[in-house]
Amino acid sequence: MKTFFRLLMREFRQFSRNGVAVAVFLGGPVLFGLLVGYTYTNATVTDLPIAVVDLNGTALSGKVVDALADNPTVKLVTVFPDETAARRAFETGQFEAVVTIPGNFEEAIQQRRTPEVEVDLNMANILTANFVSRAVQTTLSTLNAGIEIEGSMKRGVPVLEARNQFQAFSINNTRYFNTSGNYGYYMLPGVTGAIIQQVFLLVLALAFSKEFEENTFGQLTEQTRWSGVVLLTKTLPYWIMGAGVWAFVLGVLFPLFRLPDVGSLPALLTLVAAFTLALTGLGILISILIPNQLRATEILMIVATPAFIISGYSWPTSQMPVLLQYIAQAIPLTHYLSALRNVFFLKAPLSVIQPQVQTLFLYGIVMLLLAWLTLWWKMRQYKLVTPPPSLVEQPG
C-alpha cells in the first residue's frame, strides 16, 4: 500500500508540474462550460434583420409594417418601396426574411378578395430561419385576425361569429437558399471547415516545436542563414498537402453526399486559399513561440475547440456577449464560415465575400510576418550561443 500511495502521489506531482495540462484538465471544463453558457445566454433570439417591401403604401399596410417592427424576435431594418432593391439585398444575405405587401392590399381586403402577403425566408441558417418564420407568421396571423374581426363587426356580424371567420389576407412562405431545409446540407460544410481548421493547426503546431524539442533546429541554421527560406520550406509542404485535402473535400466529399453546387468556384477557391493562409500563419507562429510539441498542440487545441460554437454559423454572434464576439473575430474559422454560407447557399460572387477574404489574407500575412520576425530572432540567438565548427575542439 505504501508503494501504491507513493506512486499515486508521484503522479499527482508529475501532473502538477505540467501547467498546460493542469489548465486544460481543470480549467477546460470551467472555461468551455462558461463559454458555451454565455454563447447561448439569450435563450430566445432577438433582433434578426428583416425587410418589408410595401407596394401598397396605405394606412393598412402601415399597420403591417408597425406590427412587424414591434416583434422583439425580428428587427425591421428597411421598408423598400419596390422589389428590385429588396431582392438584391436579400440575395446577398443582408436579411433573414423579406415580407412583401402587394399593391392591391387594402383594396382587396375591403372587397374581401383575400390578397396574398409573400414571406421570403433565408434558409442558409435553418435555426434563424425558424425563429424568423415563427415570428413573422405569428405577427401576420394576429394582425390578420384583428383586421377581419374588425371588418366583420362593422358589417354587423356578431362578435363570436366574427372571431370564427377571420382571414383578411393569406400568407405565402417561400424558402430560399436550401429550400428543402436539409440539415445535412446546412451542417456538413460548416463542420468540415471546423475539422480542417483543427487538423491544420494541430499539424502546424509541430512544424518548429518538434525541431526545438529534438534539438535539430541547428540543422536548419547550418543549411541557410535566411530565415525567410526556412519559413517558406516549413510552410510550403502543408500548402501542397492541404491542396490535396481541399480537393478531396470539395471534389469527393461534397458530391458524395449530394451537396448542391456552389455558385462561384473562383470565389470558393479564393476563400479556401485565404483561410489556409490564415491557418498557416497562426499555426506556424505558435509552433515557433512554443518550443514544445505537447504544449504547442495543447494551446492550439484551446483555440480550435470552441471555434465552431462561437463562429456564428449555427448561433448568431449578435446574440452573444460582446467579449465573445471579439474573441470570435480573432479566429479564422469565423470569417471563413461567414463567407462560406454566402458562397455555398446564396451563390454569391467574390465581390460579396470580399470583406471576409481580405480579413483572412491580412490575418495570415500579419501572422506570417510575426512568425518570420520571431524565427529570425531565434536563428540569430542560436548562432550567438553556438560556436563555429572551427572553434569546436576536435577529438584527439
In a domain, 346, yes or no: yes
Percentage above 90 pLDDT, the chain: 10
Q: What is the pLDDT of residues 46-81, one digit of tens each?
A: 888 989 998 888 888 888 888 888 888 888 889 998
DSSP codes of every residue in 191-207: HHHHHHHHHHHHHHTHH
Same domain, 96 and 156: yes
pLDDT for 396: 47
**Look-up of cell digits 468556384:** 265
The count of C-alpha atoms lying within 13 angstroms of the C-alpha of 381, restricted to the half-sphere facing its C-beta, is: 7
Same domain, 228 and 211: yes
Q: What is the pLDDT of residues 99-135, one digit of tens each?
A: 998 888 888 877 777 788 888 888 877 777 888 888 8
Same domain, 160 and 244: no
- Domain-terminating residue out of 139, 154, 176: 176
In a domain, 37, yes or no: no
pLDDT for 370: 93
Q: Please state, in angstroms and rounded to a whole number, the distance separating the CA atoms of residues 367 and 201.
A: 13
pLDDT for 115: 81
**Look-up of cell digits 505504501:** 2
Same domain, 199 and 171: no
Q: Please state, in angstroms and rounded to a whole number, the distance separating the CA atoms of residues 19 and 292.
A: 13
**In 3-state terms, what secondary structure has residue 97?**
strand
- Domain-terminating residue out of 126, 153, 176: 176
Q: In this structure, is the dihedral angle defined by the CA atoms of residues 56, 58, 59 and 60, taken in order, positive or negative? A: negative
Which domain CATH number covers 61?
Answer: 3.40.1710.10
Same domain, 204 and 148: no
- pLDDT tops 90 at residue 275: yes
Q: How confident is the model at residue 3 (pLDDT cuts 50, 70, 90)?
A: low
Residue 361 belongs to what domain range? Answer: 183-386
In a domain, 42, yes or no: no
Look at the chain and report how many structural domains it folds into: 2
Burial pattern 205-231, b for ≥16 Cβ within 10 A else e, equals bbbbbbbbbeeebeebbeeeeebeebb
